[in-house]
Structure 1
Amino acid sequence: MTPDLSPTLARDAALRRLVQAFAAAGIANPRGEARFLAEHALGLSAADLLLQGRTPLGAAGAQALEAAAGRRLAGEPVARIVGAWEFWGLPFALSPETLVPRPDTETLVEASLRLLPERDRRLRLVDLGTGSGCIMVALLHERPHAFGIGLDRSQEALLTARANAAANGVGGRAAFLRGSWLDAVSGPFDLIVSNPPYIASGVIPTLQAEVRGHDPMAALDGGTDGLDAYRAILAGIARRPGLLAPGGAVALEIGYDQAEAVTDLAEAAGFREITLAHDLAGQARVVTLRPSLAAI
């Protein structure tokens, strides 16, 4: 039930009611989510909310906070309500056609940076299924002489990614193309990176309601066994080895149980140097690939 938030209620009292309501609803981090929504709805920084806690909500503040709380209690994720989320310490706007960036995906950025350890080297990379652009923007942020291409089938996602690149100061080193996997690009690339859809179609109805009800289905559904995107990406590279520059590499995020299957697909595509990177929970989260020397 949405808590009663009157205009005369102090901000800190309203925050306490919000925490209680979120806790009663079984929200995992009621205090953190309540504070985040309060800051957004009231247009306050964390410091302002703390220092001005006894200030009444006011009519507009009460209305905005009640509306945000009602959406959260109805199952809408905080990131969707706010319309933005942080990734790699950078802010990213969201749209209905983009995933909310997950902390696990930072493992993909970390693994990619290890593949390209020279910070000042001139690089060319492509992010397949770029979505919000968070992976590519994070990489461009860390590699100041790199140029990136973000590719997606969704025009709305591409517009969001372009705006995020500009907002994070890397728009001049980024381009965005509409297309399916590698069909729209010619290479060569020093890095091909992707967090593709990898959830098996039959599993999607069992996902949390916050995910299946609010994340774009095209970014979730990986086909019958969850491996359709990997097949397309790896087959595309195998058909066109010139897509990878000499010494180039591929980094792919994978589901928690897909390491063996994706490794098998990579070996069948001619990759011999295959490594796994693990997330903070110890799960294999990223496969990194380099072709054999004979294929370069």
Structure 2
Amino acid sequence: MSQVFGDLVQQAKDALERAGIEGAAREARILAAKAADIPVDRASLSFQEVVAREAQSKLEAFIASRVLRMPLSHITGTRAFYAHEFTVTPDVLDPRPETETLIETALESDFQHVLDLGTGSGCILLSLLAARSEAAGVGTDKSPRALDVALENAARLGVTDRCLFLRSDWYSDVEGQFDLIVSNPPYISAQEMENLQPELTHEPRMALTDEMDGLSAYRGIIPGAGAHLRPNGRLLVEIGWTQRTPVVGLYEQSGFTDINITSDMDGRDRVVSGVWQGA
């Protein structure tokens, strides 16, 4: 007996609900579409379509992985972020909606040359370059595998000719000055790691935590930014929602002006920005 796409969706929904996966209905459509090789945006219109026999076994493998709390993006291989879809692997941080606040804040002002520290999948840098056709940028990361993912995403977005990816520990191998520096550094403390969602155990730990108090990355990024910013250049960093006071303090101590906090869609402090007036 032939099976239709709607059966796959229901099977996935039931399994994910039993496992306590939040948003089971949405994820079921995505996993079933991946298994049946149907575009996700056509899922709702395809419930009566007959699917290939191998779609069932593919879906069962996807469900088994998701029940073990493998992130959905690691199963599908992609994540929608801001205005684009990015390749995602276990070697990079899974882009999250709250990080889009960083993109929106950066795009409030002009820039020609941007530096993204700890670029991971490249989603921040590449989203900015795609939105500003006249801009170019550099992305750095300590992980060569992450840089491979970023290069793949640059090709997906058609901006390869406007970006350079470097293996670098923050500023260690960076040369030149920029109009804008952005970063979503590891800001989860070692203590907080114990209570995070199980999906995060599948992501690169060094992209999540500094194994200390969650502030060590800022202690390197913020004081070092002046050497790489042009006068009136901006530094934007994503923060954890409890880190406003110590991070703003680092901006003040490092000589930044016009320091602002931008909240994410949930009303939590998410991005700190400041202007560098020059030494």
Which residue of the partner structure matches residue 146 of structure 1? Answer: 135
Note if contact 2:36-2:52 (Cα within 8 Å) is conserved in structure 1.
no
- Percent identical across equivalent pairs? 38
Alignment-mate amino acid for residue 179 of structure 1? S
Which residue of the partner structure matches residue 75 of structure 2? Answer: 81
* Pairing of 1:1-296 with structure 2 (within 5 A): 8-46=2-40, 48-116=42-110, 123-211=112-200, 213-237=201-225, 241-291=226-276, 293=277, 295-296=278-279
Note if contact 2:12-2:31 (Cα within 8 Å) is conserved in structure 1.
no
Note if contact 1:148-1:173 (Cα within 8 Å) is conserved in structure 2.
yes
Note if contact 1:274-1:288 (Cα within 8 Å) is conserved in structure 2.
yes
Note if contact 1:158-1:178 (Cα within 8 Å) is conserved in structure 2.
yes
Q: CA deviation at 1:51?
A: 4.1
Superposed CA offset, 1:83-106 (max 9, x none): 110111201101222011100000
Distance 1:20 1:148, change over 3 A: same
Alignment-mate amino acid for residue 267 of structure 1? E
| Structure 2 residue matching 1:80: 3-state secondary structure | helix
Superposed CA offset, 1:24-54 (max 9, x none): 2211111100000111111102465444433
| Structure 2 residue matching 1:207: 3-state secondary structure | coil
Matched residue count: 279
Question: Which sections of structure 1, spanning at least 5 residues, go unmatched?
Answer: 1-6
C-alpha distance in 1 between matches for 2:96 and 2:171? 24
Note if contact 2:219-2:250 (Cα within 8 Å) is conserved in structure 1.
yes
TM (norm. structure 1) is: 0.90
C-alpha distance in 2 between matches for 1:97 and 1:87? 17
Runs of 4+ in 1 over 6 A off after TM superposition: none
Note if contact 2:31-2:76 (Cα within 8 Å) is conserved in structure 1.
yes
| Structure 1 residue matching 2:181: 3-state secondary structure | strand
TM (norm. structure 2) is: 0.95
| Structure 1 residue matching 2:194: 3-state secondary structure | helix
C-alpha distance in 2 between matches for 1:156 and 1:268? 35
Distance 1:50 1:235, change over 3 A: closer
In angstroms, what is the RMSD of aligned CA positions?
1.5
Superposed CA offset, 1:89-142 (max 9, x none): 2011012220111000000001111132xxxx6x11100000000000010011
Note if contact 2:235-2:273 (Cα within 8 Å) is conserved in structure 1.
yes
Higher CA-based Rg: 1
Note if contact 2:185-2:238 (Cα within 8 Å) is conserved in structure 1.
yes
Distance 1:110 1:50, change over 3 A: closer
Alignment-mate amino acid for residue 108 of structure 1? L
Note if contact 2:5-2:36 (Cα within 8 Å) is conserved in structure 1.
no
C-alpha distance in 1 between matches for 2:42 and 2:168? 44
Note if contact 1:115-1:249 (Cα within 8 Å) is conserved in structure 2.
no
